[in-house]
Amino acid sequence: MDLLATWHARRRGRPASDLRTISVRGTVLALLLSGAAGCGGGAPDRPAPGFSGELAAGARYVQTLATPRPASTMTDEEVIAAGYVERLRLGLGSPFRLMEYALRDPRLAPGTRAPLLWGLLDATRAGRGYELDPRALARIAGTSGESATAQMHLQLIDGAVRGAADPRSGELAVREAYRLATASRTVSPTAPALAASAAALARDRELARRDAARLLAHAARSGKHPSALLVEWRRARRFEVEAPPGAPRAPALEEAAAEQALALVARVEAVRGASGRAPAARDGLPRLRPAAARRLAKLARAHSYPTQSPVWIAVHRYDEHLRRVARGRAGTRAVERLLKRARTEESLAAEHAVIGAAAEPVRQMVALLVAEVGVGMRAYAQERVWYHGFAAPSTADLKREFGLRGVEFDGDVPLSWRPYYRRVLGDALADLEIAVPSLDLRGAAFRFGSTGKEGVALAIHDPRRRTIHLPPESGAGAIAHEVGHDLDWQVAHARYGTRAAYGTEYAIRNRRGDPFATAVRRMPEPPEVPMRGGPELQRRYAQRPAEIFARTFDGYVAAVLAERGRSNGYLTAAQDEFLGGHGLALLPGARAGAAGPFMEMMTVASPLSDASRREFLAVWGAGRVPSGFEVASRIVKRAGAGPVPGVAVRPAPGMVEMLQAGAAVRAEVAAVIAIRDSVVAEWSAARSANPLSARGSRGEAAVVRLANAAAAARVRGI
């Protein structure tokens, strides 16, 4: 389907199904793509009445790939196929996206693609993907060597998600339970983030398992081959595992999650004192053997697929830590290989397998890295498959369609990658126009290449040249953020007559009575973010108005697209109010009081329709009634979860000291109860002002239970 025809049809209001009558280029491209799929085990003409035999054959094929034998006896195709199996096992993105990549992989012949597809489908249906290494949770209790405890936490998280009526409610329950356990100080401060990653992968495993069963059942009923149906469902965004995590949640789902979280928190806290043998690890798909992994790494380098930002950013993030823990230990060379060569999910899977024999601290750090990549790759779930030679818009197409001044490339960006990045940019800007129909980028330019600030900034907007610099390694997921800076620049130029600054910062310095400046001042300050450069850099970044606006715009785009069932990992890496992505987006639900002033700023920067503004403010504005999870979070945050001041711990306290300590504890507990009462009163006032929203998990009884649980957890911590 032709990209430009899609854009034009969308702008004219024509449905995508009419495109075959609009564009000859689109028809030719569709035929080419269907031919590519057909050559690789795609849909045959005959019906496919039953699939038990094909699934069993696929499972046997996967087993043969893992059969112990010299790697030299494996063909290149078998090594590449084994890499696909390993990527599925590790949970590096949607299994159905992975299957479509396998169907179209030019390195695989039809005789390999067909059994590989059936093997991947069988493994997905059986829930044998997304196999998280328990070492990724080793620090959940605050220490680095708790392997048995980590395995217990993993089993607890998997069971909670698998046992929930809806895996999405199970994921929410896990997040809340670990947040409350952190407030009670029975797990480490990093536990909620670690548990959220594990729950996200467990959720996706369960959704993918259900998707695979639905796909096979529908294929059997309709007579369509599963491979053809797979491509069709991906285009129609019918796979639940590929739906955006930030999509609106039904109140009943949140209510179920809240009830489950209240029961789960006691089990999380009980793990601390558990002893004995850890439960057995879940059986997963056969692991890629080191010798085959080295060949796969070589084949991946020869294939030269463009760098995937979730992989590169995670590797860069763990670079110093990995080098430090590997120094002087076995596996140092393997660590250096991984840091240098892991640039795509395929090369990461290969290098991860090579590092298997490294020292335990190294393996623990690599487990964290792989888990972070797995979560980051969720944003790519709806990605269109791309290989060298696939169609892409030209620079002239992009300039004409979006009014851009130019699309440029640094000389070190391979020529074979440039069509990929042009298509990435075109897809991202087309989706961005869905969220912001009034978007005007006429005169702006994009440049794929280095920023000069690698390691500090993922991408850069240069206000003097009005150029957005997107490094191939880290630019994906940062486009919405940088376009937010460009809108800010447009405000400075059109409203204040300056080209060298951003409107948010110029207004706050020079236009105290201006309505736009007033809206900027009303934006709540976001939390500090983990980034390199020390606390001072973090404070400056968190407080800078231009960054607050760009991060909020990034989150707004992710939220609006999610409401429409869409995601685009090139446009924004944000997933939901908890997982803001590597662009550090601020989603509307992450901060109270941000929606109103942000809408006022957007009225100047890129006006939205009255209907869109009303819809957004109805969901996220000042009149909204917070969920029970938000109420609990506010109690925990206001009460604090750090060391209790004034309670000195001494070996043998005297009676006076004991009484003083008791008084300090009582005062601290009383403060927590007062905070709980205050937050619940605020919620009750919002509910009274907007009674229609008081339903499901926003009902009074559920909110009060979560509020009491949050206060009780904090008191246990004291």
Amino acid sitting at position 170: G
Predicted confidence at residue 332, as pLDDT, reads 84
Q: How many CB atoms lie within 10 A of CB 628?
A: 30
Residues in the chain: 718
- Cα–Cα distance between 583 and 461 in angstroms, integer? 14
- Cα–Cα distance between 414 and 714 in angstroms, integer? 54
End-to-end CA distance of the chain: 61
Amino acid sitting at position 668: E
Q: How many CB atoms lie within 10 A of CB 629?
A: 24
DSSP class of residue 468 equals E
Predicted confidence at residue 534, as pLDDT, reads 52
- Cα–Cα distance between 246 and 226 in angstroms, integer? 28
Torsion of CA 397, 398, 399, 404, to 10 degrees: 180
- Cα–Cα distance between 277 and 29 in angstroms, integer? 57
Radius of gyration of the chain (CA): 26
- Cα–Cα distance between 575 and 376 in angstroms, integer? 9
Q: Under a CB-based contact definition with an 8 Å cutoff, are residues 257 and 112 in contact?
A: no
Residue 419 Cα distances to 51, 94, 285, angstroms: 38, 24, 35
- Cα–Cα distance between 446 and 468 in angstroms, integer? 5
- Give this prediction's pTM: 0.87
- Listing DSSP states for 59-78 in one string gives HHHHHHHHS---GGGS-HHH
Predicted confidence at residue 199, as pLDDT, reads 97
- Cα–Cα distance between 359 and 707 in angstroms, integer? 44
Lookup: tokens for 315: 């590797």
- Cα–Cα distance between 31 and 255 in angstroms, integer? 47
Q: How many CA atoms lie within 13 A of 491 on its CB side?
A: 29
Q: Which helix (H) or strand (E) segment is 701 a member of? A: helix 700-717
- Listing DSSP states for 308-362 in one string gives PHHHHHHHHHHHHHHHHHHTTSTTHHHHHHHHHH--SHHHHHHHHHHGGGS-HHH
- Cα–Cα distance between 419 and 300 in angstroms, integer? 19
Q: How many CB atoms lie within 10 A of CB 98?
A: 21
**What 3-state DSSP class applies to 408?**
strand
Partners of 447 in beta bridges: 408, 469
Q: Under a CB-based contact definition with an 8 Å cutoff, are residues 334 and 67 in contact?
A: no
Give the orientation angle of helix 251-270 with respect to helix 147-163, to 10 degrees: 150
What contacts 81, CB < 8 A, 6 or more positions away? 61, 65, 102, 108, 112, 116
Q: pLDDT per residue over 69-102, tens digit each?
A: 887 889 999 999 999 999 999 999 999 999 999 9
- Cα–Cα distance between 484 and 464 in angstroms, integer? 16
402-438: buried (b, 16+ CB within 10 Å) or exposed (e) per residue? bebeebebeeebeeebbbbbbbbbbbbbbbbbebbee
Residues of the chain with pLDDT under 70: 1-49, 142-146, 273-286, 453-456, 527-542, 583, 589-590, 641-660, 691-699
